[in-house]
């Protein structure tokens, strides 16, 4: 059973920078896993932010960026805004099948 691991929770100050990571139980995450990142606020459906490691959608704020960092997929928020407080999920693909991480609850405080 493949497991995708994210930090359960992180706290960041407004205007600060934070990096969320996404690790695979199978080893280093590469672009071949097509990392995706989603944001979900309470009571709302998830919204996609990043696909294929670092590609943004037209609605993705410029302060969000995706990368590979130290064998993991990473989502970096630079200049965090209060409205960025949310749950963030990564999604990795393994030969076609997708696996979500458990999510990171980001608190802006």
Partner 1 sequence: QVQLQESGPGLVQPSQTLSLTCTVSGGSIRSSDYYWTWIRQSPGKGLEWIGYTYYSENTYYNPSLKSRATISVDMSQNQFSLMLSSVTAADTAVYYCASLGTYFAWGQGTLVTVSS
Chain residues binding partner 1 by CB under 8 A are 1, 34, 36, 38, 40, 45-48, 51-52, 55, 57, 87, 89, 91, 96-103
Q: Looking at beta carbons only, is 69 or 105 nearer to partner 1?
A: 105
Torsion of CA 100, 83, 13, 105, to 10 degrees: -20
Minimal distance, residue 95 CB to partner 1, in Å: 8
Question: Nearer to partner 1 by C-beta: 27 or 43?
Answer: 43
Please report how close the Cβ of residue 76 comes to partner 1 at its closest, in angstroms: 20
Q: How far is the CB of 15 from partner 1 (least distance, A)?
A: 28
Distance CA 92, CA 18 (A): 21
DSSP H/E element including 72: strand 72-78
Torsion on CA atoms 15, 85, 44, 20, rounded to nearest 10: 90
């Amino acid at each position: 059973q493949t497991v995708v691991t994210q930090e359960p929770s992180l706290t960041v100050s407004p205007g600060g920078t934070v990096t969320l990571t996404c690790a695979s139980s199978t080893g280093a995450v590469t672009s071949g896993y097509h990392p995706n990142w989603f944001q979900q606020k309470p009571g709302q459906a998830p919204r996609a932010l990043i696909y294929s490691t670092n590609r943004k959608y037209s609605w993705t704020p410029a302060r969000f960026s995706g990368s590979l960092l130290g064998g993991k997929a990473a989502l970096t928020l630079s200049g965090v805004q209060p409205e960025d407080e949310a749950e963030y999920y990564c999604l990795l693909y393994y030969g076609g099948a997708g696996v979500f991480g458990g999510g990171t609850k980001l608190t802006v405080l």
